[in-house]
Amino acid sequence: MQSTTPLPKVPDTWKQLVAPYQQPDLRKSIWQLVNTVVPYFALLTLMYFSLDISYWLTLLLAIPAAGFGVRLFIIFHDAGHGSFFKSKVANDWLGRITGVLLFTPYYSWRHSHAIHHATSGDLDRRGTGDVWTLTKEEYDKLGRWGKIGYRIYRNPFVIFGIGPVIDFVVLQRFAWAKADARDRASIRNTNIALAVWVVLISLMIGFDKYVLIQLPVLMIATGVGVWLFYVQHQFENTYWERHEDWDFATAALYGSSFYKLPKLLQWFTGNIGFHHIHHLSPRIPNYELERCHNSGELFQRVEQLTLWTSLKSFNVRLWDEDHHKMVGYHTPSES
């Protein structure tokens, strides 16, 4: 479907609409921690005992364990936005601790993710905390090896399979050249804490058993997590504009998907499918996103993705500036 008509202007009233949902509820936050962390570790424990029965059973248990791992990342994510607890100190400590369990340096991730929120949909500020996305014109100008590199990166086996594991296990152990002192310290401290954690667990159950348990959980959770992040912005009628025409509210509402998932999957993914609401106001705790979405007609205008329709996102690769939509590599020109 071609999308060449201008998107409707987002009225300034959106700020008043989201305001009532921006306060964390301590009771809800604590309960979410309990109903996520307890079953997560319980399933990891069951996986350990299942090793003596059948590794197929272990792998079966890895699926729900990974689901709770995704849910734990949403809590980590909320802490990074300062939306899980009212206290900044509490959010930061929660982020540091869960970051070790999730192989993710808290302050470094928080920094890059904040840039993603500030620049999402801005063609002139791509490159930090987002999925590598080229325009059709940029791709056409690449040489052979540049196109091959881009295709490898966007290949589903890479971007949702081996790529996330490499990212979380290897790449996040190192600081990029432009990282500031706080980001470098965050990465270093997380690496130290993670090493201590792995050594302690390995001394208790053996390093081989630790890997047999942790690796499948990590592979499933990171693959699902990257898919969620991908589909939240990589869909046909998303929003990209050059900086001079870019608008924060428009990018949030129309450049972030409303991923309507079945209730069980919505629970495991911490309501992150209401991503248009999250981008309008990252200060809203995950457990208030649905209520905010249902509160105003403005939020109902966005394009809805389902599990079935979201599969089309596998085929979007490039942003077509002429037709204002994501396209594949060989999409024919349109008049």
pLDDT tens-digit readout, 147-190: 999 999 999 999 999 999 999 999 999 988 778 899 999 999 99
d(CA 95, CA 333): 47
pTM for the model = 0.93
Nearest to 233 by CA among 258, 250, 260, 268: 258
* Residues forming a β-bridge with 259: 305
Report residue 1's pLDDT band, with 50, 70 and 90 as the boundaries.
very low
Name the phi and psi angles at 317, rounded to 5: -130, -35
Provide the pLDDT for residue 139.
Answer: 96
The mean of the pLDDT values for the chain is 93
d(CA 296, CA 179): 40
Structure-token match 């002429």, residue found: 322
Q: What are 266-281's pLDDT values in tens digits?
A: 999 999 999 999 999 9
d(CA 131, CA 112): 12
d(CA 335, CA 322): 10
d(CA 223, CA 317): 18
CB 280 within 8 A of CB 249: yes
CB 113 within 8 A of CB 125: no
Q: What are 252-266's pLDDT values in tens digits?
A: 999 999 999 999 999
Report residue 319's pLDDT band, with 50, 70 and 90 as the boundaries.
very high
Report residue 332's pLDDT band, with 50, 70 and 90 as the boundaries.
low
Q: Taking the domains of the chain in order of start, what are their residue ranges?
A: 14-326
Structure tokens at 51: 């090793």
